[in-house]
Amino acid sequence: MVLAEDLARQQRSISVAEFFEKNKHLLGFDSPMRGIITTVKEAVDNALDACEEAEVLPDIFVGIKKVDAEVYRITVEDNGPGIVPENVPLVFGKLLYGSRFHQIRQSRGQQGIGISAAVLYAQLTTGTPALVISRTGAKARAHRFELMIRTETNDPEIVSHEEVDWDRTHGTRIEIQFKSTLAAKKRLLDYLRLTAIVNPHSRLTADIDGEVTTFERVTSEVPPCPKSVLPHPHGIEFGALKRIAAANAGTIEEFLVNSFSRVGKKTADEMIDLARLDPARKTTTLDAEELKRLLDAMQSVRVPAPLAQQCLSPIGEELICKGLEKEIQLDFVSARTRPSSVFGGHSFVIEAAIGYGGKLQAEGNAQLLRFANRVPLLYQQGACAITNCVTQVNWKNYGLSQQGLPTGPALVMVHVASTNVPFTSESKDAVASIPEIEREIVLVLQELGRELKSYLSRRDRKKQQDDRARAICSVIPEIAAKVSEIVELPLVDTSPIEGRIMHRVVAKKRTIDGKVRIDVNNYTAKEVPLVLYNLSRDKADDAEPRPDFTDEFDGEYNKVWRCVLAPGAAWQVVYTGAGDGSIDLRGVEDNVKVVVDLDV
């Protein structure tokens, strides 16, 4: 009895801020290094969400500066709609306060914890308040706050508040200081690069201790902001049904039609009938047993899937490829956006891409890029359903070797976009194992695997043909020389014949005038593709071709320069390479001649 009374004296409620102060690892603040990444991630997620809501092209600045031995100041500034001054203290100084928790639509933020957890972490490690400046439009003045969190009550504490001048017309800036290290610099830049890939409409500028990196946008089209939809009857649980039914003044039929997505009068009547209820009854009069019957009926009646186009914002195949190509040089890339699907009443869309070659590492595991609602997932790869699906696919069928993950110079990217991404924890690092989601991921990877396979066999076939053609071409000049010696006639230029064998122009070191002359008039195509091979990779690496040449590696041989010569166009190009002599490409009307001087 005494013990119970002793215990009773110790029992008291715990504020959510106290809880997370003690369990900061649950929110991704388990180490000082990770603290920086999580803070930047939370603030950038919020900035991107806010810009999307305001339909402005995001222009986001991330600054990290050492201010003391172990203390870093993290700044994130956006050009979003700003936050009204009354809400600023709540947004940054109260955990579980946000605008997205109650909305059913795709957004980066969900829980209303992210940024206030960063403020809490800062005050825990350095005791300094967060500095926030926000402005909502040209007509309003900016408000500057210094904020802390009262952990015992989970309430904001306003240390200072004043109106200030700010050159941005709208946007928000947050500055947080905490103990950390800059060991996370590479990871931070990786995070920003990945964020740029899945948010191709945004410009991200990072200043990490004076070193500035900009990730430029690849499109100027703002993706439409996903719209909030009503809950789907297949995704509702008893507690939620009871709560919304109690708050509804109408009849059961009105309740079903007005409170759930894709439920019309006919579907509602079918549900009510199945639950053996009177459609004219008020929902507030239903007892627990009747609500249970209604819930069962709602789950068994067929209802069309939620309208994914409204509430989701997939990136799209073209922009995924553009983003990947810009940030990671690849020889092959292909992307797929699957049709939308549903799990537990929540819409989701799976997007994926496969890249190969280019600057990817030839050894070791393929690079796996995981994303959820346009946010890169950087931690807990092993615990994520995406990783599980990638290892389930038999990559050997598609020309890659495999040790769990595929290996070799490949990249696999998967994006889960959903109104409710099922994360394994509050730190939102890994996607939970949901059979519907996993099925879609495996399907899309198999689809892309087939494309990769046909690219790899095309490439191998081409390499074989090239090798053969090269072997033949290497003996033609010798045969020509021998023949001219025998028949005692001048040596002819064999380049056009070689060109026809190779189906392209091959420049090699030759002795005629110390130059190679290639006549491309044999091409009947409207445009003449010109490819220069066999330039020493080292030398060609330093060389800058003309802007109308694209410049790439063929992955197998050497540097390849491509351009298109239109017949009839007059060409006069003189190029001086780095130490490998000059290359002179010349074409005249109806007689396009290419002269390559490799006289080194």
Ligand X SMILES: Nc1ncnc2c1ncn2[C@@H]1O[C@H](COP(=O)(O)OP(=O)(O)OP(=O)(O)O)[C@@H](O)[C@H]1O
- The residues of the shown chain that bind ligand X, judged by CB under 6 A, are 42, 45-47, 50, 78, 80, 83, 91, 98-100, 109-116, 172
Among left, alpha and beta (phi > 0; psi -120 to 50; other), residue 323 is alpha
Q: Find the shortest distance in angstroms from Cβ 36 to ligand X.
A: 16
C-alpha count within 13 angstroms, C-beta hemisphere, residue 415? 31
CA distance 107 to 52: 9
Q: Find the shortest distance in angstroms from Cβ 218 to ligand X.
A: 23
Determine whether 243 is exposed, middle or buried from the number of CB atoms within 10 Å of its CB (0-12, 13-18, 19+).
exposed
SS3 240: helix
Q: Find the shortest distance in angstroms from Cβ 350 to ligand X.
A: 21
Q: Find the shortest distance in angstroms from Cβ 443 to ligand X.
A: 29
Pick the closer one to ligand X by CB: 155 or 327: 155
Residue positions in the annotated binding site?
A: 46, 78, 99-100, 109-116, 428
Burial 468-489 (b: 16+ CB within 10 A, else e): ebbeebeeebeeeeeeeeeeee
CA distance 470 to 508: 11
Q: Find the shortest distance in angstroms from Cβ 101 to ligand X.
A: 6
Residue positions in the annotated binding site for ATP?
A: 46, 78, 99-100, 109-116, 428
Pick the closer one to ligand X by CB: 111 or 388: 111
Determine whether 151 is exposed, middle or buried from the number of CB atoms within 10 Å of its CB (0-12, 13-18, 19+).
buried
Q: Find the shortest distance in angstroms from Cβ 171 to ligand X.
A: 8
Pick the closer one to ligand X by CB: 120 or 297: 120
Pick the closer one to ligand X by CB: 117 or 452: 117
Q: In 10 A of CB 71, how many CB atoms?
A: 16
The per-residue DSSP string of 109-137 comes to --SS-HHHHHHHHHHHHT-PPEEEEEE--
Pick the closer one to ligand X by CB: 381 or 420: 420
Q: Find the shortest distance in angstroms from Cβ 553 to ligand X.
A: 41
CA distance 594 to 585: 5
SS3 223: coil
Q: Find the shortest distance in angstroms from Cβ 62 to ligand X.
A: 13
Pick the closer one to ligand X by CB: 83 or 535: 83
Residue of minimal CB distance from ligand X?
Answer: 109
Pick the closer one to ligand X by CB: 81 or 345: 81
Continuous H helices in 176-251: 185-198, 238-246
Q: Find the shortest distance in angstroms from Cβ 338 to ligand X.
A: 25
∠579-581-585 over CA atoms, to 5°? 135
Pick the closer one to ligand X by CB: 110 or 402: 110
Determine whether 463 is exposed, middle or buried from the number of CB atoms within 10 Å of its CB (0-12, 13-18, 19+).
middle
SS3 145: strand
Alpha-carbon torsion angle 395, 396, 401, 404, nearest 10: 50
Return the axis-axis angle of helices 385-392 and 435-487, rounded to nearest 10°. 50
CA distance 6 to 310: 56
∠471-476-479 over CA atoms, to 5°? 130
Pick the closer one to ligand X by CB: 135 or 322: 135
Pick the closer one to ligand X by CB: 50 or 320: 50
Q: Find the shortest distance in angstroms from Cβ 106 to ligand X.
A: 13
CA distance 141 to 169: 9
